[in-house]
């Protein structure tokens, strides 16, 4: 990516990246490269990368196939689960279609039961994720990671060496550093870019298969943003909003748009697409490569963990670093663990950090846009 390219064009490129990668994954398959489909940030992508596979994210965020999914799944189920299953069942998503192996993980009851049905028409492997971040949990996940490596070797008839894993770890760490370097620019006040533009880069980067090029592009965008900021190109001051909660994107991205349309500025994303998946690196000096992977990935502060201190640690750090004026939590309908945790998050935000908090529950449809707009407008007016 050229440094001279205009930033609006750069942001648009990343926003369209998921669509563009549909053709890219077809070319990858035609070139004989294996494709591994994944769902969650808990899954160590370094292992399939170490065997030269392309890794594609399978979480669908559209209501297009929800009706098809509801023929098999309950209506009162998380929209992410229904959307993902619906796209797989109908073959409307090239990522599902071209995946040689789909890897799930037991982050929530709905997903792990959905994998059973998904396995009837696609090859599926499920990693057993411990739900507690203690010594026993780390050791269990270390063993699960080794089993996952052995499954990849068996399924694809390859050998995954420790050297290749360490190379993949280093590359993934460099990608995380590049992403982190970009989104940490949002600590600036006034802001250097819109939160929606930042999100498009964060989300779009997950659908780029040439990681070396992706890292270079991210660094180039950072340089471009810094250069324009130094020239006095930045946004007007506005209430600084930190977003937390369920994964967002696709249909749920309407919340970000409504915040910006009503005069707010989204400064940070604590959830899966943002800091939660990039903040911590894998320890490249740890002699036991599987221990290093287990500790890094199991440390992610998702609401499926009980207790979940790491989420609150990261959230508190981000509230301070990004000078948040308020926190808005986005919870997908029937995402029970995040919904239950809103009570604790509200207390943490309002009592320990002394700033306003609001939770919104939504799905991928547009049926609640009017209601959400009214609530978000009133919340921002209060600020």
Q: Are 346 and 228 in contact (CB under 8 A)?
A: no
pLDDT (tens digit per residue) in 144-188:
999 999 999 999 999 999 999 999 999 999 999 999 999 999 999
| Amino acid 8: pLDDT | 87
Percentage, residues of the chain above pLDDT 70? 99
**47-337-307 Cα angle (round to 5):** 75
**pLDDT grade for 2, boundaries at 50, 70 and 90:** very low
| Dist CA 93 CA 58 (whole Å) | 9
Of 182, 193, 208, 188, nearest in space to 15 by CA:
208
Cα→Cα distances 6→1, 13, 170, 186, 327, Å: 11, 11, 30, 19, 31
**What is the token pair recorded at 245?**
């909660």
Does a cis peptide bond (omega within 30 degrees of 0) precede residue 120? no
What is the DSSP code string of 171-199?
HHHHHHHHHHHHHGGGGSSS-SS-HHHHH
Q: Mean pLDDT of all residues in the chain?
A: 95
pLDDT (tens digit per residue) in 265-275:
999 999 998 99
**Letter string b/e over residues 312-344, b meaning 16 or more CB atoms within 10 A of that residue's CB:** bebbeebbeebebbbbbbbbbbbbebbbebbee
The pLDDT of residue 12 is above 90: no
Pairing of strands 124-127, 240-245: unpaired
Backbone phi and psi for residue 57, each to the nearest 5 degrees, phi listed first? -85, 135
Neighbour-count burial of 350, counting CB atoms closer than 10 A to its CB (0-12 exposed, 13-18 middle, 19+ buried) = middle
The pLDDT of residue 3 is above 50: no
DSSP at 232: T
Task: Give the predicted TM-score (pTM) of the model.
Answer: 0.95
Instruction: For the chain, list the domains and their CATH numbers.
Output: 11-160 (3.40.50.11890)
The pLDDT of residue 107 is above 80: yes
pLDDT (tens digit per residue) in 316-370:
999 999 999 999 999 999 999 999 999 999 999 999 999 999 999 999 999 999 9
**pLDDT grade for 5, boundaries at 50, 70 and 90:** low
What is the DSSP code string of 58-89?
-----STTHHHHTTTS-TTS-HHHHHHHHHHH
């Amino acid at each position: 990516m050229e440094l001279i390219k205009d930033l609006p064009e750069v942001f648009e490129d990343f926003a369209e990246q998921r669509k563009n990668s549909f053709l890219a994954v077809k070319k990858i398959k035609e070139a004989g490269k294996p494709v591994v489909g994944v769902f969650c940030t808990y899954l160590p992508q370094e292992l399939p990368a170490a065997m030269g596979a392309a890794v594609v994210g399978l979480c669908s965020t559209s209501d297009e196939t929800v009706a098809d999914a509801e023929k098999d799944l309950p209506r009162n189920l998380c929209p992410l689960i229904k959307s993902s299953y619906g796209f797989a069942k109908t073959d409307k998503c090239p990522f599902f279609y071209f995946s040689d192996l789909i890897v799930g993980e037991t982050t929530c009851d709905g997903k792990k039961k959905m994998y059973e049905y998904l396995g009837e028409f696609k090859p599926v492997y499920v990693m057993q994720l411990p739900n507690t971040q203690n010594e026993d949990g780390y050791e269990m996940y270390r063993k699960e990671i080794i089993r996952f490596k052995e499954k990849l070797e068996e399924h694809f008839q390859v050998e995954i060496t420790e050297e290749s894993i360490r190379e993949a770890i280093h590359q993934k760490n460099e990608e995380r550093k590049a992403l982190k370097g970009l989104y940490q620019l949002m600590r600036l006040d006034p802001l250097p870019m819109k939160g929606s533009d930042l999100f498009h880069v964060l989300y779009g980067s997950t659908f780029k298969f040439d990681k070396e090029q992706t890292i270079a592009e991210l660094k180039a965008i950072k340089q471009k943003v810094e250069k324009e900021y130094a020239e006095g190109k930045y946004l007007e001051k506005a209430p600084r909003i930190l977003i937390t909660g369920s994964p967002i994107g696709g249909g749920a991205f309407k919340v970000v748009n409504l915040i910006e349309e009503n005069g707010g500025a989204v400064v940070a994303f604590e959830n899966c697409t943002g800091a939660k998946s990039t903040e911590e690196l894998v320890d490249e000096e740890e002699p036991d490569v599987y221990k290093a992977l287990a500790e890094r990935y199991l440390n992610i502060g998702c609401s499926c963990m009980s207790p979940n201190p790491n989420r609150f640690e990261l959230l508190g750090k981000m509230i301070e670093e990004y000078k948040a004026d308020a926190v808005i939590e986005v919870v997908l309908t029937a995402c029970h663990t995040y919904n239950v945790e809103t009570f604790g998050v509200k207390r943490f935000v309002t009592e320990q950090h002394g700033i306003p908090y609001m939770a919104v529950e939504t799905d991928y449809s547009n049926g609640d846009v009017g209601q959400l707009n009214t609530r978000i407008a009133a919340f921002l007016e209060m600020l």
